[in-house]
Amino acid sequence: MRRIRVRIDSLVRDPTGRPGIHLSCPTGARPAPGQCALAVLPGQAQPARTALFPTRLDPQGFTADLPEGADWPPGADLDVLTPVGNGFSPPPSARRWLLAAVGVPPGRLLPLIDRGLARGAAVVLCAAARPAGLPAAVEVVLNASEAVAWADFLAADLAPEGVPNLRRQLLGADQPTLQLPRAAQVLVTPPMPCGLGVCGACAVNGRRRWQLACLDGPVFDLHTLDE
């Protein structure tokens, strides 16, 4: 993790239509899918950092959602800690990837698609609508339960409040016999104001212990959180 200045090149729309920003960022400091950059505008009255997760990666930097209420104009420099945390790590042998956005937009999962297709994997996205520009090879389903038995790798993104009922959130209450893949990972995104494991604000309740999203996550082995 490094502390650097990055510039907001432009305001953009991500493939789901959400307002975003494109950041110029050197390759070694660019967050991988599931990792984030923790940003603050220099001189900002509130020093707490905001997590920026890549929704698209490119040779110059990455695109991230514009934080709600942030007044970050193009040309502004951000003070960032990057990359923060553990990202998604699909097993090399996995060939059937299910990317499931549950109760959240799918943008933070989209950078995994190119990686999966480059490995020769079949990719299915669970989302409420098909994002713009999605490769034709990617199938979109409304419910993760439609493809979970097929998948040998599951990458999920859900709101922090969904963790206590993780299986129900993913599969629905009427699917008690469905088994999750052994390789199943979930992105959990509570506020991470410090990014150093000091404040404890990003604590996530696991099966055996509390874990910190900024140090142990924000991508967790789903089986360490599932009830």
Kindly give the pairing relationship between strand 96-102 and strand 122-126.
Answer: parallel
Give pLDDT tens digits for 161-200. 777 777 777 776 566 567 888 999 999 999 898 888 899 9
Give pLDDT tens digits for 20-71. 999 999 988 999 999 999 998 876 666 689 999 999 999 999 999 998 888 8
Structural domains of the chain in order of their starting residue, each with its CATH number: 2-84 (2.40.30.10), 96-224 (3.40.50)
Identify residue 113 by its one-letter amino acid code: I
How far is 154 from 135, CA to CA, in rounded Å?
19
Q: Which residues contact 70 (CB under 8 A, 6 or more apart)?
A: 41, 50
User: What is the pLDDT, as a whole number, of residue 227?
Assistant: 56
**Chain centre to alpha carbon of residue 107:** 8
Residue position matching structure tokens 């199943």? 184
User: What is the pLDDT, as a whole number, of residue 85?
Assistant: 95
The Cβ-side half-sphere exposure at 82, using a 13 Å CA radius, reads 30
User: What is the pLDDT, as a whole number, of residue 209?
Assistant: 86
User: What is the pLDDT, as a whole number, of residue 45?
Assistant: 60
pTM for the model = 0.92
Give pLDDT tens digits for 69-128. 888 899 999 999 999 999 999 999 999 999 999 889 999 999 999 999 999 999 999 999
Residue position matching structure tokens 């199938």? 139
Count of C-beta atoms within a 10 Å radius of residue 196 = 15
User: What is the pLDDT, as a whole number, of residue 122?
Assistant: 98
Percent of all residues in the chain with a pLDDT value above 90, rounded to a whole number:
64
User: What is the pLDDT, as a whole number, of residue 138?
Assistant: 98
Of residues 127 and 205, more confidence is placed in 127
Q: How far is CA 176 from CA 153, 168, 179, 185, in A?
A: 20, 9, 8, 20
How far is 171 from 160, CA to CA, in rounded Å?
17
How far is 176 from 75, CA to CA, in rounded Å?
51
Of residues 41 and 227, more confidence is placed in 41
User: What is the pLDDT, as a whole number, of residue 112?
Assistant: 98
Count of C-beta atoms within a 10 Å radius of residue 103 = 11
